[in-house]
Structure 1
């Protein structure tokens, strides 16, 4: 029987009512006690890393989770992490970059209702995660939620209240899970390479969402505080350059100063291709600006943090950003 380590971090799944609203208060052992059926699938141990609302999680917490998995990697056959839903997609992306090519499953899950509630999605999500984790051949980082297994680099929270909180963006759902079976559609690579752990991350990344009327000099301030900027542009990658609100002049200043600029899109599906229109063509071809293409914004932001932890050399940043990790990008560059 396989051995699975349950790592708990807080979140709604572990929350209890307080005078100030829901807050994490259920221990890892208590969470496990709500799913006695887990014993028929595997042997489980519990490690409570911390107990926080995921809104409060920061990059240093990602490193701590990855570090715990690294410490226990040889002892267990898989890992299930309970986590708040609000930043789960960021943590899933982070673990995808901090733990590359794992031969074992690393599954994140949580719930829209506490596990102690009379009506909750928590028990199903947790049992689905365990069943997926013990399935032969499963390896890599996933979010398992509401009967779906989603690659960690492709997940996004799309609903605030419904049980179907997450979806896979610009990539197929890896597997569907029901009470009887698991239908896996995205298989792991046939020839896995050795796992590689990373322990550095630099949070110096800013995400700017354009809106009409925004003044371009905001980029000057951001550039004074951050080393990389993701611009959530319009459509497939449009950057305004008309009249006095000419963002291209500020982009030129940023890239001359050695800042990393990535153009993404505000549109959730189908990604960016900034060279389609003049408003994006100029930015990509006249300056050293990267594109997120079909990446999620969560993955693009965390990937930049991972890269900045290693280098700020533009050529190297470009190479690493466009190099696929766990199917995070289908680069349109040859």
Structure 2
């Protein structure tokens, strides 16, 4: 078993629940077939290339392809050659990954795929504790490829945790959502990201539910599936699965999202709109997070930045006593009263237009009576696009009856959010009603706040001057800060602005800021300088120009990467014991799971440098060791050095990160 993880390799856990993507044709129509999906992916070198010897791994350049194509390795090989067998074969050299589940893992593995008689053997599954099972699953690894916008190539190693039995998505229930959330929690520290293969019919419900169940999420979670199964020659399964894997393995987008038809959506913003189009999902009230075309364009300004200092956890309960009621002309008060009888605790009321309802007294009395009894009723619009409002009298009467406006939430999101909130016993009915209209995971649009006036050209140069002044202040050796003048201003003498003024456009000004701000925030992190740190954060946050593309720093300014080392400001702050800037970065949405070019997180550097206070802060924010940090011996070596030198403080710090003391060879986190 091989635990090593190269720094240019990311780990993704694929949770395969079922759905069309892995189905086969039968006399009864499409039906799920156990292990078919894994065996198919293993036989396709787009999804599995362990020897890096496929066309995809050798087509990065003309020279590389010509060498490979003339080497003889591109020719068909016999079963006795070095080609990795098809099917679920597990050669001795193939790495496996420990995967945990709340149910027994019952995957079978093909051991002799080249013979007519295929033998199968059950993978050993151990019970770790109550309702926790672990098995070492064989892994698949993608060919090395360069992602648009990134300079280095990367391979994605993934394991498939297949459910038994596989489910059609129409059979998905609350317990299944909790199972998915639990499996993500059990494997959270071992994997960089998660892809959930799911049927399309209820995928938007599952995406909404998981967005709430996965609390303080700091890693990428993507749901995907297919309209046409992988077993068919013409399908959308290949594009959807490859796209989801590529995004999950190369970007940290700490949300529960849904990938379909070259687009990554926020999961709680989508609805299925077509049963036959490949473009099956729409997000009518929120722009996509990622558009995949020739380039992969991440809309970083819209990606949620977690600002909580709490560790990730999965909430494992949802109330089943919620329902959706769609108003229609002629609906009676008796119908509504019957619908709102116990054990109902929450209702999503789909209203007309912008939140309107019939004004009959019997209907309003039924709604008011239910609200007075403590039932939470949330009003959303029946329209595909738009929001409820109090613009009409017929909408205001609902508010007077106690109905809570749900903004522009989709029906799927409103239902799952209500189920989630009502499952929390610590929340009162009034608190649930308040939280329904509060965006918790970006599921609804906040009410518009009047924007500050657009800065004119007279305000742009002072911004650049202030930015450069911060550089000079931090980098200069003298105590006095020299004045920087880029263009003449009123009151300056002719001598002071004899040089030609700085000619620029608004886009050029913004581009200059976008180029300089990342360097400044790294410098501020190294010096623990809060003045420059706050300057960077405010300069980025307050930019209200129409063309935000020039300010689209990947991950935002708090997660900007230094090109040479691949380090974020959080890495720099951890290395330099810059506690004030570290706290500021975390509160502003810095990602604790980012790895630099060597594969290390900020927590590793803080522990290696002996910065105990920084380690405590990062751990409280959800950081953990993983990958190369302990599996290839870096952390183990640090522990051994501490043992030889008798450095008790180092023992204490590494123990806080979850490392076992080096009494045995196994020093992996517990």
Say whether the fold is shared (TM-score over 0.5): yes
Give unmatched runs, 5+ long, in structure 1: none
Q: Residue 302 of structure 1 corresponds to which residue in structure 2?
A: 416
Structure 1 counterpart of 2:316, from 186, 199, 205 = 199
| Deviation per residue, 1:105-146 (Å, 9 max, x gap) | 111000000111010000110000001101233221110100
Question: CA distance change for structure 1 residues 277 and 257 in 2, over 3 Å: closer, same or farther?
Answer: same
Q: Residue 407 of structure 2 corresponds to which residue in structure 1?
A: 293
| Deviation per residue, 1:284-304 (Å, 9 max, x gap) | 0x2221111111111110000
Q: Residue 33 of structure 1 corresponds to which residue in structure 2?
A: 42
Q: Residue 71 of structure 1 corresponds to which residue in structure 2?
A: 186
Question: CA distance change for structure 1 residues 190 and 141 in 2, over 3 Å: closer, same or farther?
Answer: closer
Decide whether the 8 Å contact of 1:49 with 1:65 is kept in 2: no
CA distance in 2, matches of 1:90, 1:107: 14
Question: CA distance change for structure 1 residues 172 and 214 in 2, over 3 Å: closer, same or farther?
Answer: same
CA distance in 2, matches of 1:288, 1:309: 21
Query: Which shows bigger deviation, 295-304 or 211-220?
Result: 211-220
Decide whether the 8 Å contact of 1:93 with 1:152 is kept in 2: yes
Give the alignment of 1:248-267 within 5 angstroms. Answer: 248-267=364-383
Q: Residue 24 of structure 1 corresponds to which residue in structure 2?
A: 32
Indicate yes or no: 2:148 matched with 1:148: no
Give the alignment of 1:84-103 within 5 angstroms. Answer: 84-103=199-218
CA distance in 2, matches of 1:31, 1:156: 29
Question: CA distance change for structure 1 residues 26 and 162 in 2, over 3 Å: closer, same or farther?
Answer: farther
- Displacement after TM superposition at 1:227 (Å): 0.9
Structure 1 counterpart of 2:19, from 11, 18, 31 = 11
Indicate yes or no: 2:296 matched with 1:176: no
Q: Residue 355 of structure 2 corresponds to which residue in structure 1?
A: 237
Give the alignment of 1:127-166 within 5 angstroms. Answer: 127-166=242-281
Query: Which shows bigger deviation, 89-98 or 220-229?
Result: 220-229
- Displacement after TM superposition at 1:223 (Å): 1.4
- Displacement after TM superposition at 1:34 (Å): 5.9
CA distance in 1, matches of 2:352, 2:445: 20
Decide whether the 8 Å contact of 2:371 with 2:402 is kept in 1: yes
- Displacement after TM superposition at 1:32 (Å): 3.0
Q: Residue 116 of structure 1 corresponds to which residue in structure 2?
A: 231
Higher helix share: 2
Decide whether the 8 Å contact of 1:89 with 1:157 is kept in 2: yes
Decide whether the 8 Å contact of 2:254 with 2:306 is kept in 1: no
Decide whether the 8 Å contact of 1:170 with 1:294 is kept in 2: yes
- Displacement after TM superposition at 1:238 (Å): 0.8
Q: Residue 303 of structure 2 corresponds to which residue in structure 1?
A: 187
- Displacement after TM superposition at 1:333 (Å): 9.6
Indicate yes or no: 2:174 matched with 1:59: yes
CA distance in 2, matches of 1:288, 1:187: 33
- Displacement after TM superposition at 1:25 (Å): 1.7
Aligned-partner SS, 1:207: strand
CA distance in 2, matches of 1:190, 1:302: 21
CA distance in 2, matches of 1:219, 1:122: 42
| Deviation per residue, 1:22-67 (Å, 9 max, x gap) | 1222535235336532312311111012411101101111001111
Q: Residue 333 of structure 2 corresponds to which residue in structure 1?
A: 216
CA distance in 2, matches of 1:192, 1:13: 36
- Displacement after TM superposition at 1:268 (Å): 0.9
Decide whether the 8 Å contact of 1:102 with 1:195 is kept in 2: yes
Query: Which shows bigger deviation, 186-195 or 288-297?
Result: 186-195
- Displacement after TM superposition at 1:174 (Å): 0.6
Decide whether the 8 Å contact of 1:16 with 1:114 is kept in 2: yes
- Displacement after TM superposition at 1:190 (Å): 7.0
CA distance in 2, matches of 1:304, 1:202: 8
Query: Which shows bigger deviation, 50-59 or 217-226?
Result: 217-226
| Deviation per residue, 1:90-110 (Å, 9 max, x gap) | 000111000023111111000
CA distance in 1, matches of 2:40, 2:279: 21
Structure 2 counterpart of 1:269, from 376, 385, 389 = 385
CA distance in 1, matches of 2:224, 2:397: 42
- Displacement after TM superposition at 1:323 (Å): 2.6
Higher strand share: 1
Q: Which has the larger radius of gyration?
A: 2
Question: CA distance change for structure 1 residues 203 and 331 in 2, over 3 Å: closer, same or farther?
Answer: farther
Q: CA RMSD in A?
A: 1.8
- Displacement after TM superposition at 1:320 (Å): 2.3
Aligned-partner SS, 1:49: strand
- Displacement after TM superposition at 1:195 (Å): 2.1
| Deviation per residue, 1:151-184 (Å, 9 max, x gap) | 0111111111111011113111111113x43101
Decide whether the 8 Å contact of 1:34 with 1:115 is kept in 2: no
Question: CA distance change for structure 1 residues 131 and 190 in 2, over 3 Å: closer, same or farther?
Answer: same
- Displacement after TM superposition at 1:224 (Å): 1.4
